[in-house]
Structure formats: structure tokens, C-alpha cells
């Protein structure tokens, strides 16, 4: 199963438009309406997204903050890998 595109967007009309266009081109897509849910899905090790489309002006955690947190978590996971990986 191909990894999905993750759309993190609080405006339902924009999110649906992006999702529709991706799916009409053959991609699978999932939508998160909040930054917190988007971060959870972005860090899902069982089904990580292949790409993230991120609204920078989200309520709560901003898109900029979300990207920084996700990058820090990813760096931490990479640093924790054994050198044989």
C-alpha cells in the first residue's frame, strides 16, 4: 500500500479541494484538521506520510512549530539508531 499524502489544514474547503485533487491523480490522502492531530499522523511509524502539505497558520500549534517539532523528533530517532542501520 502506498504511503499517503498528509494534508494538515483547518479550513475544510481547502483541505477537501487538496484531497480531491491528490486522489484524482491516484494518490491516497489523509486530512488532519488540527496541528496536534497532524503531528500525531506525521510521526506515525506504522503508516508515515510520503509528503506533508502543511498550513502554516493553524490554530493551536502553528504549522511552523509543528514542522520544528517533527524535525526534532526525526533527528532524535535517527541519532538513536545503531550505527549498523
Domain ranges of the chain: 5-80
* 35-42 helix and 63-80 helix, angle to the nearest 10 degrees: 20
Q: CA–CA separation, 75 vs 43, rounded Å?
A: 12
Per-residue pLDDT of the chain (85 residues; tens, 9 = 90+): 689 999 999 999 999 999 999 999 999 999 999 999 999 999 998 999 999 999 999 988 999 999 999 888 877 765 655 554 4
pTM for the whole structure? 0.85
**Per CATH, which fold does 5-80 belong to?**
Rossmann fold (3.40.50)
CB 51 within 8 A of CB 5: yes
Q: CA–CA separation, 21 vs 72, rounded Å?
A: 31
Amino acid at each position: 500500500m502506498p504511503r499517503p499524502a498528509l494534508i494538515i489544514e483547518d479550513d475544510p474547503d481547502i483541505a477537501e479541494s487538496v484531497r480531491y485533487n491528490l486522489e484524482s491523480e491516484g494518490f491516497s490522502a489523509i486530512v488532519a484538521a488540527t496541528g496536534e492531530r497532524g503531528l500525531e499522523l506525521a510521526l506515525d511509524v506504522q503508516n508515515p506520510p510520503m509528503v506533508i502539505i502543511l498550513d502554516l497558520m493553524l490554530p493551536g500549534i502553528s504549522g511552523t512549530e509543528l514542522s520544528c517539532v517533527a524535525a526534532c523528533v526525526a533527528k532524535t530517532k535517527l541519532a538513536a539508531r545503531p550505527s549498523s542501520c
